[in-house]
Amino acid sequence: MNLQEFFREHPAVAIAFSGGADSAYLLYQAKQYAKAVRAYYVKSEFQPQFELEDALRLAEELGAELKILELSVLTAPHVKENPTERCYFCKIAIFQAILNAVKSDGFSLLLDGTNASDDATDRPGMRALAELSVRSPLRECGLTKSEIRRLSKEAGLFTWDKPAYACLATRIPTGEIITAEKLAVTERAEGYLFSLGFTDFRVRCQNGNAKLQLSEAQWPLLLAHRKEILTTLKEFYQTVSLDLEVRG
């Protein structure tokens, strides 16, 4: 089965839209082949502002209807305690909120952007998708991440080379309580590094200390801005260190 055939069988669909490369390509294809489609973006403490901006930009470029849902995931059961299966509990909360909106809008099928490269054994959130009967057409049609990027580039989608971006909660170690303040600090710190030209990196928070994870190719940029980075990040963290085990 390919996506055209999928949307022929399911002509009215709702899409959980993150603004990333996968859900962007899924929305693009749905606009091509589905008869009715609406995208849903959940804005919570876990998503940085630029993800919402990317989602709005792509929806506008595709002429797709986008509905923004506000949700405080930190109030969902078990999420702020940050257990090993935090992603599962978070996904349950997020997709249940989308499903409630989808049903009230008259849609019966919700899709997400999970692809064939995603390892189900390494993503507890995928269990939540199965329990809530959320379909993943990219995965079902065998589309891998590299294929989605290639096809997105051919389609002219600006998301074709957008780095994968895990939510802000992943910067906080498992078992450490998640707070809105910690998430806001992470977003500000990473936003600052983005402004200096860094890409595909993480600022991990460990008990008030920052650990930078970036590819070896970006180390010269780090050294060139070392003093200002230390000055800026130490407004938020006690110490700032570089994770030397990350090469990329």
Q: For the chain, where do the domains classified as CATH 3.40.50.620 start and end? A: 3-161
Helices (H) and strands (E) in the chain, counts: 10, 7
**Can you give the pLDDT at residue 124?**
73
- The pLDDT > 90 percentage for the chain reads 89
How many other CB atoms are there within 10 angstroms of residue 43's CB atom? 15
pLDDT in tens, 80-129: 999 999 999 999 999 999 999 999 999 999 999 999 998 766 577 788 99
**Average pLDDT, stretch 31-35?**
97
Total count of residues recorded for the chain: 248
Strands (E), 79-132: 110-111
pLDDT band at 248 (very low <50, low <70, confident <90, very high): low
Question: What is the edge-to-edge ordering of all strands in the sheet holding 12-16?
Answer: 66-70, 36-43, 12-16, 110-111
Q: Nearest to residue 48, comparing CAs of 150, 223, 192? A: 192
- The pLDDT > 70 percentage for the chain reads 98
pLDDT in tens, 205-246: 988 999 999 999 999 999 999 999 999 999 999 999 999 987
CATH class of the structural domain 179-242: alpha beta
Q: For the chain, where do the domains classified as CATH 3.30.70 start and end? A: 179-242
Residue 37 pLDDT > 70, yes or no? yes
For residue 90, CA distances in Å to 69, 125, 126, 223 come to 15, 8, 11, 37
According to CATH, what is the number of the domain 3-161? 3.40.50.620
